[in-house]
Amino acid sequence: MRYLYHLPLSPFSRKVRLLLAEKRLPFELRVEKVWERRSEYLDLNPAGTVPTLLEDGGLAIPDSSVIAEYLEEAYPDTPLLGRGHPERVEARRLAAWFDGKFHAEVTDRLLGEKYMKRLTGRGNPDAGALRAGYAALGPQLDYIGWLSETRTWLAGSAISLADFAAAAQLSALDYIGEIDWRTAPAAKEWYARVKSRPCFRGLLADRVPGITPPAHYADLDF
Amino acid sequence: MRYLYHLPLSPFSRKVRLLLAEKRLPFELRVEKVWERRSEYLDLNPAGTVPTLLEDGGLAIPDSSVIAEYLEEAYPDTPLLGRGHPERVEARRLAAWFDGKFHAEVTDRLLGEKYMKRLTGRGNPDAGALRAGYAALGPQLDYIGWLSETRTWLAGSAISLADFAAAAQLSALDYIGEIDWRTAPAAKEWYARVKSRPCFRGLLADRVPGITPPAHYADLDF
């Protein structure tokens, strides 16, 4: 069996769940409480982060961007990076944008301060970080809206790693009720299309102990 | 002509310079003062970071990890990721380690606080960040030493992206005199081997206005 070590609200874990499901690769989820720094897990992934994919044959693949490249090479039937150099550069550029810039400026500040700090006993949310996160979210939603209106999907005419990287960040924030979709109609239209794909069902069925998502979280017609 | 927009002490720019030189791809350097947020540059790379590679035909490739994947696909003659899945996973895992964890825990704290803050007029170094950076450097050098003694090169028996990612971070820190090589003999032996390669010559010839590197910086027998 293929296992994915994850945390339910980790956007990087969510990205890999979407990629696996879109490529129709069966897997089982295993929750990994990374703050416990379990030695068996550190053997699989010395960085101690989630996700880590463990293949049936024993190959352990840490880091969501490393997993994405591996899945593209090992299971090329449903290509998620495009074919030519310009398409692949653009899909990877945007995946790096959402994994890096969006996560640092928005997700880490909002989800990190409000949820992960409490979960790992690191104190109360920092008000300045929350303000900066909210200030960065608007322009990011505008950028997603602009890309999706210009190109159908974020990186071009086909759905790609870029869409899943962005949707993973947004879905984690949406679970804790941090996205006001009324302010971003173009991004909402794109997100509704991603959310309606079969690969998204697992994420929409998630329930995290102690946090009830808003009613629209799992609603395909939100 | 192929252009690389860079900053001399940016470890990510240095990584791409090493990859281009190792693959014997000619290029010209253009210094990009990213804090000026030049609109022509933001057209090439909306994230506004260095490096960005501009190919002869006009294709702009931002982000050092996106550039690394592009170079591997476009110029496969000197492979720097290995052939099989396990080798490629390990080379990418370690590249992500040095780009992410090493940079955040060490380079960003030491180079960022001591040099980039002054360059961009953002005040004085933060003493706590410097202490944390020094504390993280030792274990990182031990890890590099352990990997290189176990495997010849960091990811296995052949030189790979992992070695260039690590050497890029270390070379930027070495330029500002932050590495005490006497404390890390195994990492030093590995670094001496990387540094002796022809691809490293450009980095060793670098001189940044206002900062003279220590005498050993360009010395192959340090």
pLDDT given for residue A29 in this prediction: 98
| CB pair distance less than 8 Å for A89 and B66 | yes
Q: Residue B165: its chain A contacts at CB < 8 A?
A: none
Q: Residue A74: its chain B contacts at CB < 8 A?
A: 85
> Does the structure's ipTM exceed the value 0.90?
yes
User: CA dihedral defined by B181, B185, B186, B191, rounded to 10 degrees?
Assistant: 40
Gap from B55 CA to chain A (nearest CA, Å): 11
Residue of B47, B85, B93 with shortest CB distance to A74: B85
pLDDT given for residue B114 in this prediction: 85
| Helix (H) or strand (E) run with residue B4 in it | strand B3-6
For tokens 């290189």, what's the residue? B148
Cα separation, A83 vs A16, whole angstroms: 21
Per-residue pLDDT of chain A (222 residues; tens, 9 = 90+): 999 999 999 999 999 999 999 999 999 999 999 999 999 999 999 999 999 999 999 999 999 999 999 999 999 999 999 989 999 999 999 999 999 999 999 999 999 888 888 777 788 889 999 999 999 999 999 999 999 999 999 999 999 999 999 999 999 999 999 999 999 999 999 999 999 999 999 999 999 988 999 999 999 988
Residue of A65, A89, A101 with shortest CB distance to B47: A101
> Looking at chain A, which residue has its C-alpha nearest residue B97?
A47
Query: Which residue ranges of chain B lie beneath pLDDT 50?
Result: none
pLDDT given for residue A221 in this prediction: 87
Identify the three-state secondary structure at position A86: helix
Residue of A61, A88, A93 with shortest CB distance to B89: A61
| CB pair distance less than 8 Å for B65 and A62 | no
For tokens 């720097």, what's the residue? B80
Q: Tell me the per-residue pLDDT of B40-73, one tens digit each, with 9 for 90 and over.
A: 999 999 999 999 999 999 999 999 999 999 999 9
Residues in Cβ contact with B220 at an 8 Å cutoff, skipping those fewer than 6 apart: B192, B195, B196
Q: Which of B92, B143, B160 is most worth mutating to test chain A (most A CB atoms within 10 A of its CB)?
A: B92
In angstroms, the Cα distances linking B40 to A3, B34, B36 are 45, 11, 11
Answer whether 0.95 is exceeded by the pTM: yes
Supply B191's token pair. 């670094």
pLDDT given for residue B115 in this prediction: 83
For tokens 């000026």, what's the residue? B36
pLDDT given for residue A94 in this prediction: 98
Cα separation, A196 vs A38, whole angstroms: 36
pLDDT given for residue A23 in this prediction: 98
**Amino acid identity for residue A26 in this structure:** P
Phi, psi dihedrals of residue A55, rounded to the nearest 5°: -80, 160
Cα separation, B117 vs A59, whole angstroms: 42
pLDDT given for residue B119 in this prediction: 77
Q: Residue B83: its chain A contacts at CB < 8 A?
A: none
| Helix (H) or strand (E) run with residue B65 in it | helix B64-74
Gap from A3 CA to chain B (nearest CA, Å): 17
Q: Tell me the per-residue pLDDT of B179-189, one tens digit each, with 9 for 90 and over.
A: 999 999 999 99
| CB pair distance less than 8 Å for B61 and A89 | yes
| Helix (H) or strand (E) run with residue B39 in it | helix B39-44
Gap from B67 CA to chain A (nearest CA, Å): 8
DSSP string, B125-145: PPHHHHHHHHHHHHHHHHHHH
Gap from A165 CA to chain B (nearest CA, Å): 15
| CB pair distance less than 8 Å for B66 and A92 | yes
Cα separation, B47 vs B42, whole angstroms: 7
